[in-house]
Amino acid sequence: MRLKGRVAIVTGASSGIGRSTAITLAREGAAVMATDIDDRGGAETLAAITAAGGKARYLQQDVRSEEQWIATVAATVAAFGNLHILVNNAGIGSGQLVTEMSLEAWNNQVAINLTGVFLGCKHAIPAMRKTGSGGSIINISSVAGLEGSAGLAGYCATKGGVRLFTKAVAKEYAADRIRCNSVHPGIIDTPIWTKIDEGGLQELQAISQPGANAPNPDMIAQMGSPMARAGSPDDIANGILFLASDESGYMTGSELVIDGGWTA
């Protein structure tokens, strides 16, 4: 029960890393407001938490909307009394060459991956200040926020923005005991791989065999992962748990890379 008495918001909680994170934080004692634009998946996440005896609620949320962020924070405080943890996880990817990418595709990635993180921090921080004990913000970036990748320019730009935005927030609110760190997953076995627009690029063509999410092992090896396998959502959720807990109390403005050695 490393998070007993804490309250958390987890965005993008209907599947993948978000679902695993919501379940993990609840298992460790946190009351969780799980949000997503996908109601069906959100209901499944909520059911998994409550079946295990955890405390949670689900709220539909479009992270691009400032009004919905205001409502989400207010609903969380109304339901659970406080807000101590924010996990900005919601995100999308679009695999296209720059010259073939539409302005709409670019703007949508910026709106969800970067502006959504900004809005989450903007409206969660005042609630965290009111607790008197600070808080922990965990922004999900990517290895694509550390190095470039052909065909993922929009994704790299937004995830790189999350990395540096996180560092600025960490410095701005350290005096309030509000920590802000970023997490940088490598290839993780989540549904995002079934949603990326392949864009005709070799790196994005070898989507997994039917019934799986991540690229096949040969493709992972070719892309440079020494472990030659995809990570699991739990691998990332466990890192997020560490950053949410007091065990990482002297960490802020840092990036936690969980990539199977990809960037080594």
**How far apart are the C-alpha atoms of 219 and 49, rounded to whole Å?**
34
Question: Is residue 22 within a helix (H) or strand (E), and if so which, with residue range?
Answer: helix 16-27
Cα separation, 191 vs 34, in Å, equals 18
CB 56 within 8 A of CB 9: no
- Alpha-carbon distance values, 119 to 74, 87, 136, 150, 248 (Å): 14, 12, 15, 29, 24
Q: Where are the beta strands (DSSP E) in the chain?
A: 7-10, 31-36, 55-60, 85-88, 135-140, 178-185, 255-258
- Is 250 a catalytic site residue? no
In angstroms, the CA 20 to CA 185 distance is 14
Out of 58, 155, 173, 250, the active site residue is: 155
Catalytic positions: 155
